[in-house]
Amino acid sequence: MEMKRFICAKCNNIIEVPYGVPKPDFCPYCNAPSIYIHRIDSGGRGLGRGRGRRCGMRFINNNHPTE
């Protein structure tokens, strides 16, 4: 099973959770809140930031009426 990897900035421990499970609310090692937990892997699923179906200039330009 593929896992997402996070690191806690407070204790520097690696946290792994399966895909489909959200980022932990607290570090399981030091109990730090989620603002200290950051993703460290590439995030192999999804299209990535800004790559959705309606993003990009092509979509914007095609929806304006031409004269």
> What's the CA dihedral at 39, 21, 36, 50 to 10 degrees?
50
Question: Which residue has better confidence, 33 or 59?
Answer: 33
Q: Do the Cβ atoms of 29 and 60 come closer than 8 Å?
A: no
pLDDT tens-digit readout, 27-46? 999 999 999 999 998 755 55
Instruction: State the average pLDDT over residues 17-35.
Output: 95
Where in the chain are the domains? 3-62
CATH architecture of 3-62: Single Sheet (2.20)
Task: Give the span between the Cα atoms of 67 and 15, in whole angstroms.
Answer: 56
* Token pair belonging to 11: 């204790």
Stated pTM of the model: 0.61
Task: Give the span between the Cα atoms of 20 and 57, in whole angstroms.
Answer: 31
Q: What separation in angstroms does the CA of 50 have from each of 5, 24, 42?
A: 22, 24, 15
Instruction: State the average pLDDT over residues 55-61.
Output: 52
pLDDT at 41: 84
